[in-house]
Structure 1
Amino acid sequence: MKRNIVIATLTAAALATGGTVAAFAAGDDEPTTTQRQTDTSAHEAADHDDDSADDQDDDASEDRTALPDGSLTAAEAIAAALKHTPGTALSVDLDDDGADAWKVSVVKGDGTEYDVRIAPDSGKVLGAQRDTGDDNDADDRAELAAVKGAKTDAREAALAAAHQGTVTEVGLDDDNGAVFWTADTVKDGKHSEWTVALDSGKVTQDRDDD
């Protein structure tokens, strides 16, 4: 009975002042209105923190081209691949656009081509698989001939492009018969594309790069 009187008194006081009140009685097991609001706010804040952490994890997984400190550079990956499989390196890139392995394409003296995978953390050769594709057309042969007579090889092209950022890929391209190296770099989260001259090693930003 006293409890009802206390609640009624508090309610009347709140209505008279235009405010609200959270009624409770000593010894009640039920949480008060204020407690329920606090608990809800705490859960919402925790959910928000979890969502933010998930977003950060997603961002990190999407940008897998950012190599951890101490990882092998593109030039070092090429050197490791050629030590294992001597020949002419035609390209190097992060396998599947990630940091799982460097993949170096090497053409041996007999014309056979191999994809050599290098661990980016240790430089260990993970495997060398022969490329049995039949796409060795006239353009491919012309590019190979140009590279064999060039002053700048794939490793030197990677070193030259490294002044522009972390090199994630080096390959060959041609424009109206002129063959040159291409290189992709990342710096401060920005990706850029470059061309590297076979004769001089001069680095120029790709005019088609946005």
Structure 2
Amino acid sequence: MKRNIVIATLTAAALATGGTVAAFAAGDDEAAETQRQTHTSAQAAANRDDDSADDRDDDASEDRSALSSGSLSAAEAIAAALKHTPGTALSVDLDDDAATAWEVTVVKADGTEYDVRIAPDSGKVLGAQRDTDDDNDADDRAEPAAVKGAQTDAREAALAAAHKGTVTEVGIDDDHGTVAWTAETMKDGKHSEWNVALDTGKVTQDRDDD
């Protein structure tokens, strides 16, 4: 009888110990799963940051590639576009299509707007297409009015900004309540943004530039 009691006691103790071990094992599994989820989330965030950095690097690489393939500057691209399509230049930038051309926006005396593409290596006009998408857009009408009679035109703004680096884009901006030329430059692989005053041609750092 005593022997049976001892066996029963040992069996109960073994079961209790086994349950405790199982509980600890389950706790370890949950902790491991939490660690895996945390690691996965951190890795996903890091990948997103890497993707954003890669996009910025790709943009800079495209600009460098286009600019290194020829010596045509933004100011020269504007001059070539105006020679082909007389009018007022509103903007110039490296075309988004692999940066294979300068694209100059020109508004003619009759108000029609054209996008003139200029080869960055030779200055040859690759084509001129009328922009009819936003002819009645208020912003499009305001831009020619803003630069009309300005002492500094797009070409002169590009020349002024060139002292800060290689100009990759020039346009009109009124985000801060004051209409001015804006210019993007590249120097030592870094993009910077500048404002160029319409009256004096003075170049200042864009307040939104990081």
TM range (shorter): 0.5 to 0.7
Are residues 1:181 and 2:181 paired?
A: yes
1:163 aligned counterpart, secondary structure: helix
More helix by share: 2
Whole-Å Cα distance in 2 between the matches of residues 185 and 121 of structure 1?
19
The number of residues matched between the two structures is 152
* Match of residue 92 from structure 1: 92
Identity of aligned residues (%): 82
2:68 aligned counterpart, secondary structure: coil
* Match of residue 106 from structure 1: 106
* Match of residue 72 from structure 1: 72
2:145 aligned counterpart, secondary structure: helix
Query: Any idea what the Cα deviations from partners look like across 1:85-136, whole Å, max 9, x if unmatched?
Result: 0000000000016430000000001100000000000000000000011354
* Match of residue 171 from structure 2: 171
1:99 aligned counterpart, secondary structure: coil
Given that 1:143 and 1:179 are in contact with CA atoms closer than 8 Å, whether structure 2 keeps it comes out as no
Whole-Å Cα distance in 1 between the matches of residues 190 and 177 of structure 2?
30
Relative distance call for 1:163 and 1:112 in structure 2 (3 A) is same
Whole-Å Cα distance in 1 between the matches of residues 203 and 209 of structure 2?
14
Residue 148 of structure 1 and its aligned partner are, at CA, apart by 1.2
Residue 144 of structure 1 and its aligned partner are, at CA, apart by 1.1
Given that 1:170 and 1:181 are in contact with CA atoms closer than 8 Å, whether structure 2 keeps it comes out as yes
Counterpart of 2:197 in structure 1: which amino acid?
Answer: A
Correspondence list, 1:22-33, <5 A: none
Whole-Å Cα distance in 2 between the matches of residues 202 and 121 of structure 1?
29
Whole-Å Cα distance in 2 between the matches of residues 203 and 104 of structure 1?
21
Given that 1:65 and 1:97 are in contact with CA atoms closer than 8 Å, whether structure 2 keeps it comes out as no
Q: Which runs of 5+ in 2 are unaligned?
A: 1-56
Query: Any idea what the Cα deviations from partners look like across 1:63-95, whole Å, max 9, x if unmatched?
Result: 111111642000000000000000000000000
Residue 177 of structure 1 and its aligned partner are, at CA, apart by 4.4
CA RMSD of aligned residues (A): 1.9
1:175 aligned counterpart, secondary structure: coil
Query: Any idea what the Cα deviations from partners look like across 1:23-50, whole Å, max 9, x if unmatched?
Result: xxxxxxxxxxxxxxxxxxxxxxxxxxxx
2:200 aligned counterpart, secondary structure: coil
Counterpart of 2:208 in structure 1: which amino acid?
Answer: D
2:71 aligned counterpart, secondary structure: coil
Relative distance call for 1:125 and 1:203 in structure 2 (3 A) is same
Relative distance call for 1:168 and 1:61 in structure 2 (3 A) is closer
2:150 aligned counterpart, secondary structure: coil
Whole-Å Cα distance in 2 between the matches of residues 74 and 132 of structure 1?
24
Relative distance call for 1:61 and 1:95 in structure 2 (3 A) is closer
Whole-Å Cα distance in 2 between the matches of residues 183 and 190 of structure 1?
14
Q: TM-score, normalised to structure 1's length? A: 0.68
Counterpart of 2:102 in structure 1: which amino acid?
Answer: W
Whole-Å Cα distance in 2 between the matches of residues 95 and 69 of structure 1?
14
* Match of residue 17 from structure 2: none
Counterpart of 2:92 in structure 1: which amino acid?
Answer: V
Counterpart of 1:200 in structure 2: which amino acid?
Answer: T
